[in-house]
Amino acid sequence: MNNHCEKSELKTKSKESLEQQEQQLVNSGHYLSIYFVTWNVASKEPRGSFADLFNFYHRLYDAYVIVLEEMPMKTYIYIDGWRSSMEQLFRQVGYVLLRKESAILTGVFLFVRRQDIYRYSSVQTYPVKLQSDRAFAFKGAVGLRFVYHRIRVAIIGAHLTPHDENYQKRIKDLRTIMSEVYFSNRTDTVHNQDITFLIGDLNFRLDPMNESKESYDEEKEFESIVQFIRENRNNKDPKRYESLLKYDQIRKAQQKGDIPLKDYEESSISFAPTFKFVIDSCDQYDRKRRPAWTDRILWRNLLKFQSRWQKTDHSKMSSIEPISMYYDSLPQYTTSDHKPVRQLIWIPIMEMKEIKKDLNRKRRDTRRLTLPTLFDQLPQPPSTVASYQRLRSDSVTTFLPATTTDEFPMDMISNELSSIDTEIEANENSLLWPNIDDPSIFQPTYRIEFFRIPDWNRTKKFYANFKIVTDDDDDDNHERRPVSIRNPSVRKFIDQWDWIGIFPEKFTSLDDFLTYSYPRFGNALPTEQAADALSMLNIDDDDNIRDFDDDSQQGDQQSSRSSNKEETSSIDSSSITTTTTTSIDTTTDEVFSVHFDEQIPILAGRYLLIYIRKNGDVIGISEPFDIERDIDLSSDIS
């Protein structure tokens, strides 16, 4: 970082007004704040401090999404200096790397607050290598999706084909990305996420200002653009670059209605072009290329379009618009020929969730009133399958006529969908509603609560007890009630391949576990152990600890001893395996255990346990606990 460069334009804004507006959004509790950064690092290793890049000195936000392009070649062989550097930086402020994915030399990083890691579910990634010319073989994209309070948030980090003349190739790149990226299954595509962000070195350039090819002089145009930038750099008018932006290819694509970019929005650009600079310079453009805004952040709010089709009240529609605090570049970072671009966006998560539920109810009501209906009719394959191509679309597998043209077939789907103007047509097209028709919107979710971890140095038994409780993502302060594993919805939620890991207290990612074990669901704890575990909660709740007579205690203990011989921890989708025939008390049915016995030493230190579902979701984190002396887990005395 060059400290002599002019700082980002954020510094010129009223700090008090910015902080006041942000604090209002924080206090409302209705928003998810995401700090986006895209930077083509030009194969350079990290150097210097990046605290300014992420604005740590101002405020910390809910999540940080970083997209890096042209990462060093050795990243391709898993020597990732950028990941190590950022993990170390974010660890200092209490964040963990929830997910990182790369496609060739393009990487997407998602950092979240360590204490909020359980709020992000269904985190999925999908890399795409673009089939560019040989000279551009390292271009690619990464799709990342997470669900936050039932809202699907997708990020597409992309590095597209370069050079002024390759506009159509960039459009084709975007079509390929939008058609190939999917998440949990083949129907869970980019097109049906509630809000999608497109971010990266998109490489769109400025069209020639002189439309006459005969009189076009690239050197003269370079000088004209640079002179315009210098004259307007200190101009406080936020629209000072508009006369130059009218030649921007992204703006033109949106105006023409080119499908990949048609429904995407972008905040006003008030910063100078971010490419191509002389390396180690603050504001000197390289004569090899005309300056351009290649590094961009756009978004598509699907819920807004769906609300419009359903004629939702205008005031409700405006309440689900993301709020952009700032959108700027940082000229002080000079190690690359690109300047990093950042944007802070506040997503109205709670309002979006209410709109989503309301749309779901309207869709269900419409189905009840309209029978038969087109909602559940899927496109039927033709009789002669050989003459058709099978393509993946937004929500179903569709059969379309084969084409010999260069037009990408997904365009036909997008063209058809984007041409829908009436409520009836939109309602009858099931391709547009998979995010709304998703049954999980109203399905219950659950959390894991660990009891106090016993002193493993003293007990020589390396175990922990936990229970399953209800989770209300509308209210963090709601009373969580224990639930039984016999509940059908709980059995669908919990899986035999869920795992519990031992992590350092200051872990930086979910890869930092020392060891792991699978929870035991096959048999509930004996009554005596369950009562002992419940007592570790240190709470005064008579409902949690019940009195049992001596006969019932003895019977439960005998059942436990006999069941231990045939112990199993498998969870069948139709039943929970047990080896006893006697009834299980509700209290014992709510307390479960995990044992660690792998032959691995654990050094003295401070640790915590994390419960991770088979799909990677974190649903439980224990309180930190101390191991005062080194232990060997294989020495468990049972």
pTM comes to 0.81
Structure confidence at residue 309 (pLDDT): 86
CB-CB contact of 410 with 207 (8 Å): no
Give the mean model confidence (pLDDT) for residues 98-115. Answer: 95
CB-CB contact of 306 with 436 (8 Å): yes
Burial of 373 (0-12, 13-18, 19+ CB in 10 A): middle
Tell me which residue of 121, 124, 177, 129 sits closest to 151, measured CA to CA: 121
> Which DSSP symbol is given to 193?
S
Q: How far apart are CA 530 and CA 545, in angstroms?
A: 9
Q: How far apart are CA 352 and CA 316, in angstroms?
A: 9
State the maximum Cα–Cα separation within the chain, in Å, rounded to a whole number.
101
CB-CB contact of 339 with 277 (8 Å): yes
Looking at the chain, the whole-number percentage of residues with pLDDT higher than 90 is 54
* DSSP-derived 3-state class of residue 561: helix
pLDDT in tens, 522-545: 655 554 555 555 555 443 333 333
Q: Is the pLDDT of residue 414 over 70?
A: no
Q: Is 3.60.10.10 the CATH number for 9-358?
A: yes
> Which of these CATH numbers, 2.60.40.2840, 3.40.50.150, 2.60.34.10, 3.40.50.1980, describes 444-635?
2.60.40.2840
Give the mean model confidence (pLDDT) for residues 346-368. Answer: 90
Report domain extents, the chain.
Answer: 9-358, 372-440, 444-635
9-358 and 444-635: same fold? Answer: no
Q: Looking at per-residue confidence, does 475 or 554 come out higher?
A: 475
Averaged pLDDT score across all residues of the chain? 80
Q: How far apart are CA 196 and CA 174, in angstroms?
A: 13
At 345, the amino acid letter reads: I
Q: How far apart are CA 100 and CA 125, in angstroms?
A: 8
pLDDT in tens, 189-220: 999 999 999 999 999 999 998 766 666 788 89
Tell me which residue of 102, 61, 113, 65 sits closest to 80, measured CA to CA: 102
User: Tokens standing for 486?
Assistant: 């016999």
At 635, the amino acid letter reads: S
Query: Helices 527-535 and 550-564 meet at what angle, rounded to 10?
Result: 100
> Hey, CA dihedral for 12, 16, 17, 19, is it positive or negative?
positive
At 144, the amino acid letter reads: L
Structure confidence at residue 103 (pLDDT): 92
Looking at the chain, the whole-number percentage of residues with pLDDT higher than 70 is 73
Angle at 233 between CA 230 and CA 234, to 5 degrees: 125
Return the H-helix or E-strand segment holding 103. strand 95-103
Reported confidence tier of residue 383, pLDDT bands at 50, 70, 90: very low
Structure confidence at residue 373 (pLDDT): 45
Give the mean model confidence (pLDDT) for residues 218-229. Answer: 92
Structure confidence at residue 379 (pLDDT): 47
* DSSP-derived 3-state class of residue 605: strand
> Which DSSP symbol is given to 259?
G
Q: How far apart are CA 129 and CA 127, in angstroms?
A: 7
Structure confidence at residue 637 (pLDDT): 53
Listing DSSP states for 459-496 in one string gives H---EEEEEEEEE-TT-TTSPPPB--TTSHHHHHH--T
Listing DSSP states for 400-440 in one string gives EE---SSS-THHHHHHHHHT--SHHHHHH-GGG-TTTS-GG
Q: Where are the beta strands (DSSP E) in 244-367?
A: 295-301, 323-329, 341-347
Give the mean model confidence (pLDDT) for residues 457-483. Answer: 84
